Structure 1
């Protein structure tokens, strides 16, 4: 029996494209550790990390009935950190090189893929001995689970005590598709309204989830407020303002079992707030790994890890990079995304050999290496629902320079405030970003003050234990017995 069932399109260590995967690898075990019986269900992708995890087939030929009456799925299960993780398998939908898209754009059948997934989740859950007390869906890919359950509850008493929660990790991605796909989805006609799934003549999957969930959360308190306005509301601000009675902001945590330099398997030398000497060894190793000049050992090195897209402000970094190269600093970028940005960054490598490096792609070892080896972490996001990399940077003693938005504002105490742990600038503007970076570089040269900031940053705690407690209180407020 499962008290809380988490529904997600990715979960670390099995699948991950960004923060959602990290969150889902940490939140369910944290809730489970507080005595709540939890489980996760996610797609069985063709490219998954299953090392060390044994899968078993728990249900074959599960009748899903979408998009054709005869369509079925297989359900696999494994154990992870004390919880059961279930995988929905259907090769033509999930056995692909990428999860959602390629460089050419989104997969043309993403709507059908995740309608199938949501239907399969509920078809499988209906076969359990008892219904989960809470079904908690994450982002648009899982977002039709709450509306399906809402309407099923009207005629199926199995679901009468099940409450639904939707978490918005990034409102910019809503799952917006053709009206035709709504009519094929199996949702009743009454869901096609401005109060339900309809959005300017299209199906909006995330909007449907917000409409029919018992509670809606965002991944930071600031983001919960920001999405009520036109700048960050992505067209849903009016609709969301009518839903504030069930809207909550709960700050993500960090999985310090994975992201802690005192016991990090990816680092050549571990270190802690009480003894940061090992960070210099990590810096030397990082410079070697990226073929950077040895002279940068005694200069500030700036690191950026993230998608190479406008949201992450990579264009702002590109804008100020020539000016930064006039200073005695190094810059390392890790990420992939817009092909134009990738090409421009590769050109910079040729223009500034040994002082600038970009690694197109993402690997965990390089990400950990940059967090530990860089002196200053760059996060010039245009919006950031929560952000995790700045939380990791704090623990690794790499003070961030970030836009004062969303979760960045909730997690960074800006210089020169008392107890400062990093630097922020008011809005996504190249000049403001540059000024904040130079402010950080100047303080880096003041070694006693810099070392105080590094220690304060490393001692900050953003644990999943705290976040899990807030989620459990939310579940209980809905009447769930957890």
Structure 2
């Protein structure tokens, strides 16, 4: 049974700011189902420490690193059989709210120190220097918060193999030069080939440059980040390591997102009973105050920022409303301080449209998980015109519920949504456009509406969408293949 230390700064349901938390909960569990011994390593945030106290967690070790007193506790990730180790350092991690920002939305001033220490704890465990009976054969790191760990392991001949997953390349863990010096980093590490990026310390480069393999969350995104447009200043490095870079699609929790058993929707349905989806649509319109009509009901679920293509969507909405179509929008998730004014601008524009078209537009600003389920279940089409999307989950939820996605063909969207008129050999399950902008979005919507008018054609697309495999089981098998290849190569290198 291969032992894997899965190192992450987030894990649902204990702490979540984005998709990293979902991956960190679902992938280790799926790997466990196919025979891996996976232990998650997580900082001791307040919710994690509450779990430690409530479950009578086992005290595993006490460490002193850089004058910090650290305790390691063992429990289980809620709702799973996966072992969870919590790094208890009250001085650095027991803080309220967001794990990376204070109440004013500013990054914690000692973030570099916090996640350097977290990486050092991971390295102690990985090298068998934490006084534990369990040591990993492979360490799987995630995003910049864990990216120094492969650096600390690099020069150790008997170290475990390492994998580093990029969930969003735009989050790089950037800090000024004096932070690099304050962390006690060796001066020769200050170069573009190592940890420097445009005059700043870039944590993420530790993972990108020192891990045995790099993965990201879709094959499409793996290709895109090797280009200047999507590479965030790291495209050269990623191109150099292209042979060690793999894109593996995220999955979804098909227990929570299952239209045949979903407790949040008024009527369960499946691929053989899509007619029951009509009741979900009827009650959704009733709940949101929208007019009951035969016209198409669209939905948008996502952060209200330009990256998600909301400006393109605003441009096309009047044309849709004039045709009688409707939109249920929920502005899900938090935004950065820099994006707050952008969010407010979109909120004001949507508020004006909602007053003008009250029976055709519903806008919900506060995130409501149960309402998201009802919106996706009750809508006909899901709009996802993102400018970039490493993987995307909402389009997978839409597919599973027969709510056909309309997407910009980028990142994971192009790997999961296959246009009704394409000739690529993929099974059609939605609609996509290649030219970014409001005009292409509107043309694609109009094309989708023509399909919507044909019940037989629409039903065929829904069947294709709902019968696809979006589970973590598929992704876990691909990670398993990757792990085994890395372990075999490292074993061969050691013997050589």
Q: TM-score, normalised by structure 2?
A: 0.88
Deviates further, 51-60 or 300-309: 51-60
The answer to whether 1:325 aligns with 2:321 is yes
- Deviation at residue 342 of structure 1 after TM alignment: 3.0
Distance 2:101 2:323 in 1: 38
Distance 1:19 1:187 in 2: 31
Change (3 A) 1:195 1:279: same
Change (3 A) 1:414 1:53: farther
Corresponding residue of 1:308: 304
Change (3 A) 1:452 1:102: farther
The answer to whether 1:426 aligns with 2:442 is no
Distance 2:309 2:104 in 1: 21
| Equivalent residues in 2 for 1:77-156, closer than 5 Å | 77-79=75-77, 80-91=79-90, 93-101=93-101, 105-109=105-109, 110-123=111-124, 126-127=129-130, 128-151=132-155, 153=156
Residue number among 257, 276, 285 corresponding to 2:283 in the alignment: 285
**2:75 partner SS:** strand
C-alpha contact 2:70 2:88 (8 A) present in aligned 1:
no
Change (3 A) 1:51 1:435: farther
Corresponding residue of 2:210: 212
Deviates further, 141-150 or 208-217: 141-150
Change (3 A) 1:133 1:60: closer
Unaligned runs of at least 5 residues, structure 2: 336-342, 492-496
**1:390 partner SS:** helix
Corresponding residue of 2:390: 385
Distance 1:443 1:101 in 2: 46
Change (3 A) 1:55 1:314: farther
Deviations 1:61-119 (A, max 9, x none): 843535xx244355352244221122233445342222334795442423333223323
Corresponding residue of 1:470: 478
The answer to whether 1:294 aligns with 2:291 is yes
Distance 1:90 1:198 in 2: 28
- Deviation at residue 366 of structure 1 after TM alignment: 1.7
C-alpha contact 1:313 1:428 (8 A) present in aligned 2:
no
C-alpha contact 2:46 2:93 (8 A) present in aligned 1:
no
Change (3 A) 1:345 1:94: farther
Change (3 A) 1:121 1:463: same
Change (3 A) 1:301 1:345: same
C-alpha contact 2:93 2:114 (8 A) present in aligned 1:
yes
Deviates further, 4-13 or 370-379: 4-13
Corresponding residue of 2:182: 184
For these two proteins, the number of residue pairs brought into alignment is 472
Change (3 A) 1:74 1:161: closer
Residue number among 368, 375, 379 corresponding to 1:370 in the alignment: 375
- Deviation at residue 264 of structure 1 after TM alignment: 1.2
Change (3 A) 1:71 1:410: same
Deviates further, 102-111 or 84-93: 102-111
- Deviation at residue 14 of structure 1 after TM alignment: 2.3
Change (3 A) 1:347 1:108: farther
C-alpha contact 1:302 1:374 (8 A) present in aligned 2:
yes
Corresponding residue of 1:18: 18
Deviations 1:404-451 (A, max 9, x none): 111111111102136321000113201111111122223212222111
Q: TM-score, normalised by structure 1?
A: 0.91
Deviations 1:241-297 (A, max 9, x none): 1111211111222221221101112222110001112211222232233x222324x
- Deviation at residue 4 of structure 1 after TM alignment: 0.7
Distance 1:47 1:284 in 2: 39
Distance 1:478 1:11 in 2: 25
Change (3 A) 1:445 1:47: farther
Residue number among 396, 411, 417 corresponding to 1:412 in the alignment: 417
**1:194 partner SS:** coil
Distance 1:119 1:339 in 2: 40
Distance 1:52 1:118 in 2: 21
- Deviation at residue 48 of structure 1 after TM alignment: 6.9
Deviates further, 160-169 or 176-185: 176-185
Distance 1:16 1:198 in 2: 29
- Deviation at residue 3 of structure 1 after TM alignment: 0.4
